[in-house]
A and B are shown apart, each in its own frame.
Chain A
Amino acid sequence: METNLKSKAFQEFSNAAETLVNPVLQRWKDQGGKVVGYFCSTVPEEIITAAGLTPFRMRATGSTGTEESDAFYSSINCSFPRHCFNQVLTGDFKFLDGIVCVNSCDHVRRIYDNWKRFVPTDFIEMMSLPRKTGPDQVGWYTEELAMLKDKVGKHFGVEITDDRLWEAVKLHNETRRLQKKLYELRKQEKPPITGAETLAVMVAGTAMPKEQYNEKLRELLDELSGTEGPGGHRARLLIVGGILDDPAYIKVIEDQGGLVVTDSTCFGSRLMWVEVDENASDPISALAQYYLTDRPSCPRMYGEHDNRAQYVIDMCREFNCDGVIGERLIFCDSWLVEHYMLGQDLKAAGIPMLKLDREYLTSGIGQLRTRVQAFLETMGR
């Protein structure tokens, strides 16, 4: 990615976001370390880390087509699973030692069905994520996580004790705190890091062992603290939506003059804005409580729209945003109605919103530019 940042740490994050296996992960593998892939940010990475494994959030970075996977899907399936499963079939995910799937949405769920049936894999698990976020559902999810913990422990031959889990929780909370510090810097009038660059840092965090990631992130924070970016942008924007792991998409927006200063996405602030309660009675129920209830939710969860809208409005105020861009993968059932409702809520709060549909691989840049430029112009910028 084109960048003005001279930082070596950032360069590593940026490279990690542009590929599946980054050098840090490769070293981990070379030293005999194992990697477990997972779909959807509602899978607790902490359980994987506690087993001495490195969690890897599934993406389809570097995919060039869906020729292999199209036979397994239809033309009305979301482009993310089609690209991702294509890479599964072409062997790009051979570096994984296991997979954890979740019924996050029907499109992604079908990756599990196809993967299990057609691609020999030693460890592939499906978790059941509740639709609601109340205490009953937390109870259910606690049981799901306990089962996942046992299965991971058994397969990889590790006893995942509470101590190990608490250690993982603390490590991951540290990641969250550091990432949040990075976001804090973006509140400045001239943020030292762009939205595209920040997304690269966030994506890298889902593809490296957390100790090494935290170390590099501390380095980046030291370099950026007390510095200013070039400024001169026409507007400050928040981006809200689902799976968005491609910094190049945000770069197109920022090249039109709209600086993305914060977000509500599942590769962004929703991963880390809130922490897991380190003082809870047991780690598994603390994780269930966090992943299901405490953290800002995604529209997959029922009955939570008002909280989600409020989160976006609060973030806008906190980061002094002029407008909101809502992005949605075409055929995404979870985000179907959300953007329309959110647009109404934002209108009432006096915040303009631009809604964009997109494909998983950034394309149709001409129309994207026109929309973003026109949006900035409607704001008088």
Chain B
Amino acid sequence: MSLDFKYGFDDFFRDETYCDDFTYRNSPAAIRRFPFPFDRDDYMYSVNMEPHVPGRKGSVFEKTFDVDEHYLSEMRDRARVLAKDPLRCQSLPHMTLAGWDLLELIMETKAREYPQWFSLTKDGNRWHWINRPLGIDQKFTFLDETTLPYGPLEYITRQTQGDFTLQDEREGTLWVDAGMVTTQADWSLDFDIGMNFHEWHAPVPLAHENGIFDRALKFLLKLQHGAPVRRFNWTMTVNPLLDTAPETYPEWGHMRTLLTQENMGHMMHLRVELQTLYRLPRSNAIAFDIRAYLAKFEELVTVPKWGRRLHRVVRDIHPDLATYKGFIRNRDAMAQWLSTYDDGAPTSPGWWPED
């Protein structure tokens, strides 16, 4: 049994790369729906959670698990990373049930929200899953690992954009005990697996002192099945690298030294994480979906409001945050490039491009 993809690239699903020649880019429609994370002209950490309910039509919030034009290329990149480093997907032995919970959530939701691409039919525990864009037609027995080519977590997340971690709840905290992590902003699942909420967030500056993690944990422990929540996080990435893992830092770190005013527009990317959290029904675990969206600076400044605002955020950010997010060395050059797109005009509140 194996999971062989037949990539159905077409007018919608782009055939592009996240390594080597970096052909990744956004269509004009994808730029307009980019989840620009700044709702005001400055930035500081906050818990900033809201219910993950369907949002504006066409936006990344319209569906529970957004499937966009990058889907197939992103899944191909994940397969590439996993072939080189299988430790990017791990599940401690007690987390298999949570993996099934996640598989069920994703399959049911995608089949309902994208019937043109996904289908799930059930006869008791005998399930039939069809993923048309990836050319998959799989019959299996729900809760029986021997009937899938991978464990349930790995099977479904090889077909789903975004990193996923599964948190077990015990001793009044959350433990990151499983995950599929190939599109991360510089953290290692292999190192962090088994840590509790405060431990895996330990390297984040400023936020512990502000009580951010205490409040976030309190909030998450109350998370109810059927009432998912979401928040944004963001960083900057040179070249459209989905895989900015600590493991491969010696391969991509030096790219940060290559920026000039001439290449800034197409090399520097705003990386936005749409993070969504779901309580799972059988395991009582929490699934954490970290979906990364990348946009080139030159793509973002086609929206005048975003050009003005991004300049102000980058120019004024706390240096500790710029250091943690890995762009302190380029911050001034980035602000200089962006300043061309900031005429000083006021910006409207909220992140939508047209408001």
Question: Do A and B assemble together?
Answer: no
B residues neighboring A (CB under 8 Å)? none
A residues neighboring B (CB under 8 Å)? none
